[in-house]
Structure 1
Amino acid sequence: MTTNLMTPRQSHSPSTAPAREPLPRRNLPTGPNKDLIDQAIGTALARIDKGLAVYGDQFPEPSSVGNVYRTMGNTEWTNGFWTGQLWLAYELSGDEKYRTAAERHVESFHARIFDQVNVDHHDLGFLYSLSCVAASKLTDSTLAREAGLEAARLLLTRYLPKAGIIQAWGNLSDPAEAGRMIIDCNLNLPLLYWATEQTGDLTFADAADTHIQQALKYIVRPDASTFHTFYMDPVTGAPRHGTTHQGYADDSCWARGQAWGIAGFPLVYRYFRKPALIETSARLANYFLNRLPQDLICCWDLVFTDAPHERDSSAAAIAACGLLELGKSLPLSDTDSPAYRGTAIAMVESLIRLYAATPDDEGAGLLKHGVYHMPKGIGVDEYCLWGDYFYLEALTRLTRIWEPYW
């Protein structure tokens, strides 16, 4: 197994964040329903087996069409979510067939990064943390480590020193895209920290530290909602403006973006001990939890709080994982901590009962009723690959002490 070489970096700057919104009073479970969780894992593994038979060494597209994933090569930003499911399945079951399939994917990811096939964007963390970093941690694969480090090096080329951010996508010299950071990048930063662990080169972690502090400062609004996108001037480093890409409006709060924040800040805290990361995640969590429908599964944008607006099960699964990760870093004296775990359990159990695929459902996805891109009408009320992954990660987190691939 790979040894963790990096001592978490300390930041003692005081937190001046506003108070959290009070949480709603709910009757919450104190622990997971073991039988329900075990049954859900069994169903999920059977669905993954269906996927293996259909996809072979290929990958599902980012979202399904008519609740069936079409097959594609290793070219999208989402491919790591399928490989990540295989590694989780291997950990949950011990069955070598999942490891064998995932290791074939590692070979594909190795070729992809060195051939530079659609890797000019920040989603290298989504791609390589869940495929190659996971493989390195679980199997000590030299090939996986080599591919993961090359991905981290390429991700570092997107760092804009004056702005202090990693540009999400677009040509770095294109004025229309220059200086764009998005909240999703929280989950791409662990790849850089892992690279510092592996190499001792602090350049990777320094860039991640600076980016996450810019996200704290500019993506998180004073009321603890979030912008999906924020533009910085790449030449002067001055803040420009916040906007959205997949949310309802520039001043609304895209649910999946809020979930990326809830999950991403405490994952970064594993490496960069800045207290504001945990307090901000908690503030984001309270904002999110105060805007949920009765079944605790969010609408696609938090400006909406109930039917007839489309739910996004994928955002709920991400948020549940984030709440469970957040709970690891809160002090025992934190009065909201039991509610975070209890709500995460309740959300996952709601997903199992109302949103998870059954053995008889068509296709091989795990979590129905997700939303990919509502403004463009893509993947609405469909399986989404990241939703499937985070649903399985949440089930994993509720059954064991689990070391994240992030």
Structure 2
Amino acid sequence: MSGSYCIYPFLRRAGLCFILCSFAAFVFAQDLLSADKEIKYCAAQSGRTLKQIPVNMTDNIPRTISANSNQWKLVGYSDWCSGFWPGLLWYLYEGTHDRQWKIEADRFTRELTPLVNHSGFDHDLGFQVFNSFGNGYRLTHDSGYKKTILQAADSLASLFNPRVGTILSWPPMVKKMGWPHNTIIDNMINLELLFWASKNGGSHKLYDVAVSHAETTMHNHFRPDYSAYHVVVYDTVTGKKIKGITHQGYADNSMWARGQSWAIYGFTMCYRETRRADFLDFAQKVADRYLKDLPADLIPYWDFDAPDIPDAPRDASAAAITASALMELSTFVRDKIKAKSYRQKAEQMLKSLSSSAYQSRSTNSAFLLHSTGHQPNKTEVNASIIYADYYYLEALIRLEKLKKRKSLYHEL
């Protein structure tokens, strides 16, 4: 503590400033979140979940637990959330070094292999394949995983419209909703699959598609205050933006919490993959917009403009995604004060999520309570949802690495 400022000059003269400041630092250190403890909590909860999954059942992947239940709703490999459970298991293997998690992660990952047998059916291939096979390959270098990832990247890229400059997110919505070419903010996360593939044996065109999508999204998907639209609809012939709307938010002009968290995470990742200063600058702008109006516990309401705040449902999943994103963003920002602020906010979010107010504990075998999937549709509201658990654990793994001064991409 030498050189530190002491508000009591007489204590400095008495040689007691060091003691006082050291004690304050000790108290602060004791108050920090224990990532290792919370990772062990996640492992215990996942062990309970495994016991709930029936043997020899096709739909055996946990997705959600409703507020009035303690049982997981299980889905099949084609569900958009199918990659989060095996990805979560890979993170448990990374965080605990327990080989049993590797065995389970491999089992559930391989169930998703049929996803690459169909070309360009949905943008969610990134969520499905990169979270599962991607984490698996990072930790094992299994050549079979790599082959699947490369196939998935080619399939995802087939949805790219060069006139528009983005990937078509929801093909069924073209006819169902009359959205000629629709792109949702969630799609930013799936670009990581393309970036990785372009650098690991895939075509360089995959990199170009990812960059084009990010650039076009940056220019068309945000309002002047840097809040994100959920959906942008484009003209397929001219490539021009038609309108910005919502599908899961409160209103077309409102800030849907999880959508903004996808933006923070996505543009942070795009900077990591491209080192383009404009992506880093934009990641900070969308992050600052999100941080500006959070409740005291830093867990957002499902939509920042919901009319029934403070009685509106919260969204723990948005907080988990943002906490993980801010962990990474803090390592890129050159302004040390701002970088420290992002890291502190991330830790504070994790502390809130790790409290009795948000952890599931004995309520059910998920990690977290109080996530909101689709409030306008009245589905998965105030629920436990698998992607909230995935990003919560990812954020804890990242925090543990940062505390040990390791790269966020340090392998076993």
TM-score (norm 2): 0.85
Give unmatched runs, 5+ long, in structure 1. 1-28
Which residue is equivalent to 1:339? 341
Which residue is equivalent to 1:147? 148
Q: Is the 8 A contact 1:170 1:177 kept in 2?
A: no
Q: Work out whether 1:169 is the aligned partner of 2:179.
A: no
Q: Is the 8 A contact 1:63 1:372 kept in 2?
A: no
1:35 Cα deviation from its structure 2 partner: 6.1
Q: Work out whether 1:86 is the aligned partner of 2:85.
A: no
Q: Flag the 1:289–1:234 CA change in 2: closer, same or farther, 3 A.
A: same
Q: Is the 8 A contact 1:81 1:385 kept in 2?
A: yes
Which residue is equivalent to 1:280? 282
Q: Work out whether 1:45 is the aligned partner of 2:51.
A: no
TM-score (norm 1): 0.87
Q: Is the 8 A contact 1:355 1:367 kept in 2?
A: no
Counterpart residue identity of residue 55, structure 1: I
Which residue is equivalent to 1:66? 68
**RMSD of equivalent CA atoms:** 2.2
Which residue is equivalent to 2:17? none
Q: Is the 8 A contact 1:243 1:251 kept in 2?
A: yes
1:63 Cα deviation from its structure 2 partner: 5.1
Q: Flag the 1:351–1:214 CA change in 2: closer, same or farther, 3 A.
A: same
Q: Is the 8 A contact 2:64 2:383 kept in 1?
A: no
Question: Equivalences for 1:365-404 in 2 at 5 Å?
Answer: 365-400=366-401, 401=406, 402-403=408-409
Which residue is equivalent to 2:4? none
Question: Equivalences for 1:4-403 in 2 at 5 Å?
Answer: 33=31, 36-55=34-53, 58-62=60-64, 64=66, 66-67=68-69, 68-114=71-117, 116=118, 120-171=121-172, 174=175, 176-304=178-306, 306-331=309-334, 333=335, 335-362=337-364, 364-400=365-401, 401=406, 402-403=408-409
* CA distance, structure 1, for counterparts of residue 382 and residue 62 of structure 2: 17
Q: Is the 8 A contact 2:125 2:152 kept in 1?
A: yes
1:52 Cα deviation from its structure 2 partner: 1.6
Q: Flag the 1:156–1:195 CA change in 2: closer, same or farther, 3 A.
A: same
* CA distance, structure 2, for counterparts of residue 131 and residue 277 of structure 1: 26
Aligned-residue sequence identity (percent) comes to: 32
Q: Deviations over 1:330-369 (max 9, x none)?
A: 11x354222111111111101101444354223x211100
Counterpart residue identity of residue 93, structure 1: T
1:404 Cα deviation from its structure 2 partner: 8.6
1:295 Cα deviation from its structure 2 partner: 1.1
Between Structure 1 and Structure 2, whose CA radius of gyration is higher?
Answer: 2
SS at match of 2:250: coil
SS at match of 2:381: strand
Give unmatched runs, 5+ long, in structure 2. 1-26
* CA distance, structure 1, for counterparts of residue 252 and residue 357 of structure 2: 29
Q: Flag the 1:251–1:35 CA change in 2: closer, same or farther, 3 A.
A: closer
1:42 Cα deviation from its structure 2 partner: 1.6
Q: Flag the 1:271–1:102 CA change in 2: closer, same or farther, 3 A.
A: same
Q: Flag the 1:251–1:160 CA change in 2: closer, same or farther, 3 A.
A: same
* CA distance, structure 2, for counterparts of residue 140 and residue 232 of structure 1: 39
